[in-house]
Structure 1
Amino acid sequence: MNPFSVEGKSVLITGASRGIGQALAQAFRDQGAHVYGCGTRAESIAWMAQEAESRDVPGGSLTGEVLNVTEPGAAAAVIARIIEKRGRLDCLINNAGIASNTPAMGFKEDEMEAIIDTNFKGAFRTCQAYYRAQRRQGGTIINVASILGLVGGPLASVYCGTKGAVIQLTRALTTEWSSNNFRINALAPGFTDTDMTEMIKKRPAVLEKMLEAIPMRRMGRPEDMVGAALFLASDASAYMTGQVIVVDGGVTAM
């Protein structure tokens, strides 16, 4: 048996409507996993049904689920439906997240709360719901953080805070849950070409400065995150828990 395989595994991915989440959903499906990709609105995940009709992938499947991680109880309901159908949920990938380009002194209360509710509280609620549902079987959690949870950055104070919190949550849950056959790791992408970095791409001077800070001299692509995620979800990482895997083109090496 290939220890790197995710074939036949059931995987829930939050924030799967676009960007990194979409790339992960497609890749896990292509590798034979049964993927449940979540978005906050039905129209944001409609592409999953369209792909299911037009693309034949032996063994794998991709199903869309509407889930707003800021709503208490919402993740538990989705997880319960998946387990009722599949019998288990092998892996949870917490990818839902939002950002802003607001100076630290410019934050309004509602903007700050929205980022905290989605990035940290949403991830924590979903982890709790998954652990509660899978406690007897164990499972794997991958929390998508960011290198901005490890280093600071301008116009990202609350985002940095929430991603740092996600990394520490990963470590804390490891100390509590790993003895019950759970593995909890974090994936920390660097500057990645998604909607979240759209404002940077519209400012050539800022983009040039950012690229100079990346040893590989390019932004990451969503698909650059796939290999690390597949590894963390597979049996090849069976003795890894509480770790932060950085995929950033070398930024944090400097």
Structure 2
Amino acid sequence: MNALDFTGRSVLVVGGSSGIGNGIAQAFRAQGAQVNICGTRASAADYSAEEGSDLQGLTYHQLDVSSPSAIEAFAPKLDRLDVLVLAQGAVLYRRGEFAMDGFRKVVEVNLMSLMACATKFHGALRDAKGSLIIVSSTAAYHSTMGNPAYNASKTGAVGLTRTLAEAWAEDGIRVNGIAPGLVDTKMTKVTTANPQRLTGALQRIPLRRLGTPQDMAGAALFLASPLASYIVGQTIVVDGGLIL
């Protein structure tokens, strides 16, 4: 028996149109799952491989998680839901998060929408005795001087993971999380596209390389599988040793 075989299982990845979420979505598809993803653009055709998007074999839905009303109205046709991955994320640079409108914008996406999406699909996960995986960040474990909203929201995501895990375990739902380190996506180009910053970042990572969406996907497959059947409320740090 292959514990990582998800044939016949249904997976929804919010934020699955690019980056870490896309890597996770494609990993589940490769293991036989029927995978639905959400992104902010009108259609799958609006994404390109150059942006780190591979939507082949995935069912796409438009969803703007910065809008509470959009989440409330979101109604994908799913017969069941075995795994829900919340991989949405936002960040503002150039001190944009020190302005209250910027702070609220990032927290809305990175924290508020997690709770909104989790509670929306609680019933479906309960019926399937499914798994919820929340993608946070290693930023939850150290200061990120220029990004107070990103830091606060990702720290909150780790706390939310613990709390929902305890609250929903009696419903047969296992809630866990992944805290990625520096992963090569369009969201981290401010570092990866700057040779000086990249060199400095790599020197702080014991494995001496950036993470990939596929690295994060391995942790997601494990957490959703029977191999992790007794793991509840944990956030696995997947960072190449960055925060050691």
Give the equivalent residue in structure 1 for 2:62.
66
Work out the percentage of aligned pairs sharing the same amino acid: 38
User: What SS class does the counterpart of residue 65 from structure 1 fall into?
Assistant: strand
What is the rounded CA distance, in whole Å, between the counterparts of 1:14 and 1:241 in structure 2?
Answer: 21
Question: In structure 1, what is the Cα distance between the partners aligned to 2:92 and 2:120?
Answer: 28
Whole-Å separation in 1 of the counterparts to 2:26 and 2:45: 12
Cα RMSD of the aligned pairs, angstroms, is 2.2
Are the counterparts in 1 of residues 161 and 175 from structure 2 also a CA contact under 8 Å?
yes
In the superposition, relative to structure 1, how do residues 245 and 143 fare at CA in structure 2: closer, same or farther (>3 Å)? same
Sort the Cα spacing of 1:237 and 1:75 in 2 relative to 1 into closer, same or farther, 3 A. farther
Unaligned runs of 5+ in 1: 56-60
Change beyond 3 A, Cα 1:77–1:235: farther
What aligned pairs does 1:35-114 form with structure 2 within 5 A after superposition? 35-43=35-43, 46=46, 61-75=57-71, 77-78=73-74, 80-83=75-78, 86=79, 88-103=80-95, 107-114=98-105
How far 1:4 moved relative to its partner?
2.3
- TM-score, structure 2 length as denominator? 0.90
Q: Could you say what secondary structure the match of 1:250 adopts?
A: coil
In structure 2, the CA distance between the partners of 1:148 and 1:175, relative to structure 1 (3 Å rule), is same
Alpha-carbon shift at residue 102 of structure 1 (Å): 3.6
Q: Secondary structure at the match of 2:197?
A: helix
Q: 3-state SS of the aligned residue for 2:68? A: coil
- Please give the secondary structure, in 1, of the residue aligned with 2:76: helix
TM-score w.r.t. the length of structure 1 is 0.87
Unaligned runs of 5+ in 2: none
Report 1:169-188 matches (<5 A).
169-188=160-179
Report SS of the residue matched to 1:97: coil
Change over 3 Å in CA distance of 1:73–1:237 after alignment to 2:
farther
Cα distance, 1:76 vs. partner? 5.2
Conserved? CA contact 1:143–1:187, under 8 Å: yes
Return the offset for 1:51. 7.3
Counterpart CA distance in 1 for 2:228 and 2:73 is: 29
What is the CA distance between 1:117 and its match in structure 2? 0.5
Distance 2:242 2:182 in 1: 9
1:58 is matched with which residue?
none
Runs of at least 4 residues of structure 1 off by over 4 A?
Answer: 44-48
1:45/1:64 contact within 8 Å kept? no
| Counterparts of 1:75 and 1:238, CA distance in 2 | 29
Aligned residues: 240
Write the distance in 1 (CA, Å) between the matches of 2:83 and 2:73.
Answer: 16
Q: Which moved more, 1:217-226 or 1:240-249?
A: 217-226
Retained in 2: the 8 A contact 1:76–1:130? no
Distance 2:46 2:196 in 1: 36
User: How far is 1:207 from its partner?
Assistant: 1.8
Task: Report what 2:203 is aligned to.
Answer: 212
Where does residue 191 of structure 1 map in the other structure?
182
